[in-house]
Structure 1
Amino acid sequence: MMQTNQDCPNHNITFKSNLYAATYTIIFIPGLLANSAALWVLCRFISKKNKAVIFMINLAMADLAHVLSLPLRIYYYINHTWPFARFLCLLCFYLKYLNMYASICFLTCISIQRYFFLYQPFKAKDWKRRYDIAISAVVWLFVGVACLPFPIMRNFGMANSTNTCFADLEVRQIESKVGTVFMTGIAELLGFIIPLIIILFCTWKTKDSLQNFQIPMQNSNERRKALRMVSMCAIVFCVCFAPYHINFFFYMLVKEKVITDCVLSAITLYTQPFCLCLASLDCCLDPILYFFMTSEFQDQISRHSSMVIRSRLMSKESASSIKE
């Protein structure tokens, strides 16, 4: 006879605190340095902000906001108590999901723009910076509102215990099981399935364009740069966000007692911490887009390096001539 979760043993996942503390500690320094450097280079050295650079700036801002909250997470998972304000706990909890879904949206925007500019190079020349700024503002507004249910659903758990935070907070129960399935399904559709389809489509069409010479494009080098960009977006998405969202659907159904099978509940609850850790790795993988996948970064850095080397050589030559 199939066991229900009323008959299941209590799944006390003791390793998750150590896993979270170790993961966030490993991520913090590289994520902080890489995203800070990315923001500095993007804002300082790249004057012509086209080819998804505006979206990359917003992506780096989203990653940096999450990275800056990691020390508080590390403190909690090491000490197992939350001595700070309740609002600060909910804010850090909110920033986690804000980073995740803002990253998903901006990765999707980057893929769409590189694909569109590749197929419509003449329209790309007329594209204005303010269009990207307006799109980014809409993304932040949409994601900011859409992520509010995450801290709201956990606020109930914190009200019952003032010393717990993050993964130890209870999830507010939804009375209707149909409502739970519907809300979870909509969240998965908008936050995962549609962006995944768009990114994979852009990657496929961009790769296909390398063999299709009938499409008006600047040159094969530009096509390869665009392919590297959208491929990296797809890799980050699939590595960091796909496992979490596949697990998240079942996790919410287990928490809301829609799924009552003990084996499925155990698998879902034990894999959830690993999926959550993978979702945080985007803070370290996203900077690869900035440093290795854009011609803007490579051109600006090489140009800046050449200027530094040239100035040093000139200063040495002038110093030697003075000595003579």
Structure 2
Amino acid sequence: MSDRQYRISRRSFLASTTIGITALAGCNNNSGQVGAAYPSESLSCIVPFGQGGGTDTYARQIMPKLSEVLDVSVAIRNAPGASSLKGTGELVQTESDGYSFGVFNPPSTPISYLVYQPSWDIRSLVPVCTYGQTPYAVFARSELGVEGLRDLVERYRTDELSIFSGLGRGGIVHVAANVMRTEYNLEYDRYVSYGGGGPAIRAAVSGEVPIVATTDTAASGAVASGDLEPITILSSRGSSIFPDAPSPSDEGFSSIDYIGQLTRCMFLPPGTDTGKRATLEQAVQTALQKNSAQKWAKQTGNTVEFGDHEAARNALKRSLDTIQQRINIDEIMNGDT
């Protein structure tokens, strides 16, 4: 799309949005001042993970482009803790005026929700859209020379390796590690947890731990620097960042796609009106089509793809349903690993 076409498209988008929101303003208590266009002031994006991880990386690429489309600033607020439940819980309890939204990634946060069972209802969030797909992967320190998942399993079996690391206990990586223990005979002795992808990667790079599981996005810099190597991509779709890295099924293991692949989603607080949801939904779609977003995706291998609010709703529901059917959460949390 040329700059001139983009300017015309953007004017058309803002004009149609203003008309739609103005029509809704008089009949919806959440619409603010009658006749006022939405958004008319800065937006806040809650990222329930620390800086430097995959979710934060995506947010810091996409939110400036969303800001350009909507012509208001979009501030990113990292709220890590409790395996992403701290920030997600804040979103659930945030005022439903349309000026705060959050991002998280089924099945990651839904797993934490099922493990810890907070008092709030994650299903009450208003889905906006999806904006990417990201696989989890297992990485090893380069000097170890691990050659694939089968070699990794053998090294744990012979006690050459004993520690497996990733995000916090009760989070998706901890659960995936336990699934790999059961399905792949990955016999690690101790699981070491970190508060996000960034800290986990830094621990592996420093030599504090030999193996780490996190998203391909989070580990891309450490692999580029030669500190880490991808061992297996925990999704049969593979990784666009590490296209040569095998998945478990490539080596004859069973697929664990239901916990190996993230869908990156955006949600609004409960009760946010659908007119504001529609504005954000269309704005994200436009932002992802911008040349700068597509260029970043192509250069880094990070997948950027739009799905509507129903796609986000289905990603959350599917995760909650599948995890409860496939995984014994109580057994994992009552174990020592």
**TM-score past 0.5 threshold:** no
Please identify which structure carries the higher helix content: 1
Rg (Cα) greater in structure: 1
TM, length-normalised to structure 1: 0.31
TM, length-normalised to structure 2: 0.30
